[in-house]
Amino acid sequence: MHHFFVEPSQIQGNHIFIDGPDVNHIRNVLRMNPGEEVNVTDGTGEKVYRCAIAAIGEEKVELNIMWAQEKGMELPSKIYLFQGLPKSDKMELIIQKAVELGVYEIIPMATARAVVKLDQKKAAAKVKRWQAISESAAKQSKRLLIPEVKEPVKFSEALKLASDLDVRLIPYELAEGMDGTRRIIQSVKPGQSVAVFIGPEGGFEEAEVELAKEAGFQAITLGRRILRTETAGMTVLSILMYQLEEN
């Protein structure tokens, strides 16, 4: 079942009107016809609408709402992934999988050991690309909202952004004790907001971890093996999803 996102203003009574690039995708890529069914959400995380295509125009597609499913597909907690900027195209993979695993927002982060340095112009282009990946992953995984990918921030700014969140986690290769990690993860309750800090290749510097601890973060271990930056975030998000997923 194909999945599309619209703005609330595009939902009018029992009808939804799709415009923009999705019209071309429906007409010329998917080659859909009136009568075929699609899922639509308004990006608020509240409802998913099952619709039947009523008409396909050159600039607009009209849908008839068949029924609406209330929220419940999203995780009951908002998880914010603060990702140290990785090399190559790893960020694209990280965003795709983080969205599939239920992340609420992704904040790229410049850290001491991050090799990638983005100026303002490059950062804007990257964020546009990353946001498109987030939208595509949200459609594929039937999310009710599209997680936002923020502009990259410095480590110190990231600490400030996370200061109001309920739970703050920083996986660190020198942290010890899986019992402690289990206890911390199991203490996370539905409804709590969660910050997850992931270092780039080479991890965090010890001074950064100490600053995070002073800011209320809890250092956790992910086991005896050293995980790549693109694996560490997925691991934490998977564990949190298992912990928070409602029946």
| CATH architecture assignment, domain 79-244 | 3-Layer(aba) Sandwich (3.40)
Look up residue 22 and give its two tokens. 């999705």
Q: Is 55 left (phi over 0), alpha (psi -120 to 50) or beta?
A: beta
Evaluate if residue 246 carries a pLDDT over 80: no
Which residue do the tokens 């709402």 mark?
Answer: 65
**Each residue of 201-216: pLDDT tens digit?**
989 999 999 999 999 9
pTM for this model (two decimals): 0.83
**Each residue of 58-87: pLDDT tens digit?**
999 999 999 887 766 789 999 999 999 998
> From CA 218, how far away is CA 170, in angstroms rounded?
6
**Each residue of 3-43: pLDDT tens digit?**
999 999 999 999 999 999 999 999 999 999 999 999 999 87
Q: How far is CA 225 from CA 75, 112, 182, in A?
A: 28, 22, 17
> From CA 189, how far away is CA 39, in angstroms rounded?
30
CATH of the domain spanning 3-70, picked from 3.40.50.720, 2.102.10.10, 2.40.240.20, 3.40.50.300: 2.40.240.20
Look up residue 89 and give its two tokens. 């195209």
Q: Where in the chain is the domain with CATH 3.40.1280.10?
A: 79-244
> From CA 137, how far away is CA 153, in angstroms rounded?
23
Q: Where in the chain is the domain with CATH 2.40.240.20?
A: 3-70
**Each residue of 189-198: pLDDT tens digit?**
999 999 999 9
At residue 247, the pLDDT reads 53
Find out whether 194 and 165 touch, Cβ atoms under 8 Å. yes
C-alpha radius of gyration, the chain, whole number: 20
